[in-house]
Structure 1
Amino acid sequence: MKGIKILSSSIYHPENKITKEEILENFDSKGIDVRGLMETLGRNQLYKTKNENIIEMCVIAGQQAIKKAGIKPEDIDMLIFASDNPEYLAPSNSLILHSKLGTVNANNIFDFNNNCLSMVSAMDYAGKYMMASKDIETTIILGGQMMNFFSREDDAVIRATSGDGAACLILRKEEVKDNSGIIDSIYLTESFLNDKMRLPVCGMSNILNEDIDVEDKKALFISHDVSFFTEKWSYLIKELVKRNGLEVGDISHFIFSQFSLKDIENTLGLLEVKNPKDKYTFIADKYGYTGSASPIFALNEAYNLNRINDSNYIIFCTVGIGYSMTALLYRV
């Protein structure tokens, strides 16, 4: 029986560390108190790029993942760039990464944008494609966030809580036992919050208009209540385990979006997870929120801390601005 397994994961963050004290001082000078926001979301520091772009960060993460997997670039059959922060519109970022990583046999390449679901969704879609294709055995997925250049100076949510970084996953189709690998996924989209963010605010058709202020060519995030996310997450997770003949108690570890620590804790509370502190990994206190790469940052940390073992069931669960959600079931 064939299945899609995670061969390796890796992350990269810039060296430029921004401390909590620096963040507070910056926003205090603007008359904006972000202490409650940082406490709720669980932030202590961030890493932000000074001169690196997302392509450069993805190259480093990709090289690390290839080395960790014990393979060569030419062993890769498909390459996916999964992010809502592309460096270029054309040619595709995946084409540029194909060249820089030397994945000469990856003839199937594309850019994928599902906002902050991008890397988990790409993992899901790649797995389904790999199972249906005779030609694709190994896939590399690269993604990340680089909002430092695109955020407004007074945007507390992005500037005070989001970090820059890149992540990489390598998937391999192989013979498996016990139904291991990517098992199933579930999605939910309710788009009524779609007007709460725009990047760029002016739209791409106006990006070269010199009459438009530079701040209106950046991202606009409008604060809004998303406390209901925990109920939606718990619903998706319950449905996912139920239709696969499992119970929530069978899940050994949860890999959540790293946007909000409180939402993670509240979701596990609704699910009545026993010993919840041992059942999730949170890393946004160290790296900040890294968008679509944030679940992979958490996954990489969980592996490094030996929190995930063979035959464990784990669930990835994340959310994208607007909003859309996904939960993915995986067995190690």
Structure 2
Amino acid sequence: MIKNDLFLRALRGETVERPPVWMMRQAGRYLPEFMALKEKYDFFTRCRTPELAAEITIQPIDIVKPDAAILFSDILVIPQAMNIEVEMKPGVGPWLPNPIKTTADVDNVIVPDINETLGYVMDAIDITKERLNDRVPLIGFAGSPWTILCYAVEGKGSKSFDAAKGFCFSNPIAAHNLLQKITDTTILYLKEKVKHGVNAVQIFDSWGGMLSPVDYQEFSWPYINQIVEALAPETEVIVFGKGCWFALNEMSKSKASALGVDWTCSPANARYLTGGKITLQGNFDPSRLLSPISEIKKMVWEMIDAFGKDRYIVNLGHGILPNIPVDHAKAFIEAVKEYPNR
């Protein structure tokens, strides 16, 4: 039995004494302990070494003490497994030397054997679960098919992903073929994670907001929903679409347990768009963690008041920034824990 199951109870829509709290990218770059490992090992070595991934996953549980752990990994391990080369260049970020440009390129993409290609992730889950010792739930994750396509076609990060969008609009048959291959792989991947003991999964649609509402319904949401439909009978599923407030109403009709909200959508609007019937997660602006600690606590309490304590998971509106002081991250978590007695 998980000792602190607040996160899972909130996902199920149960009444809670306070909302649970965790932070996207909490296992990472703002922690000195993480930076010490970064000095020794390159990015994908950290991802592919189960003992290191487990250590990084658990660091924030010991240091800032959130109510859930999220496995340290990366959304781009999926395209790597699908025969798409991915590097992580210092100062650049994700770099794909041979981006997808043609139908023939899409034909070369495979739906892999998950245990052969991504077994190291499952080993990391096994070690993490053992070391967590049921203190808190463990979240597994994947990128949305659209977000993975963005990197696969663009070849790197982008402010607009024009090449990715252009590929979809000029060659929609190939684009949908690629999206389906990513979807099939992601379903197999997340199902394997559930078998190894993750307690919930989150789908990150980091670049969904790059699409118009009409294009989102063609190139992103149907593929996310396939994943939700496949996973919902087996585990709790959270969908987070950055900049996708326009799709919240449609998303709320799915089998997802919770929807993530970024800081550009107010709690009142998020509740309105989702009909108040699904758990919401978010939406503190990560930059606001640079505010004075007293201000952070006040804003967190106001945020909880605005969302309501039930059917709500406190989180950031995107990943924590590298320049956030650890004390400020702790204050964010502590403010939630202090909420009932403030």
* Fold conserved between structures, TM > 0.5: no
Task: Identify the structure with the greater helix proportion.
Answer: 2
TM norm structure 2: 0.28
Work out which structure has the larger RCO, using CA pairs closer than 8 Å and 6 or more positions apart in sequence: 1
Task: Identify the structure with the greater strand proportion.
Answer: 1
TM norm structure 1: 0.28
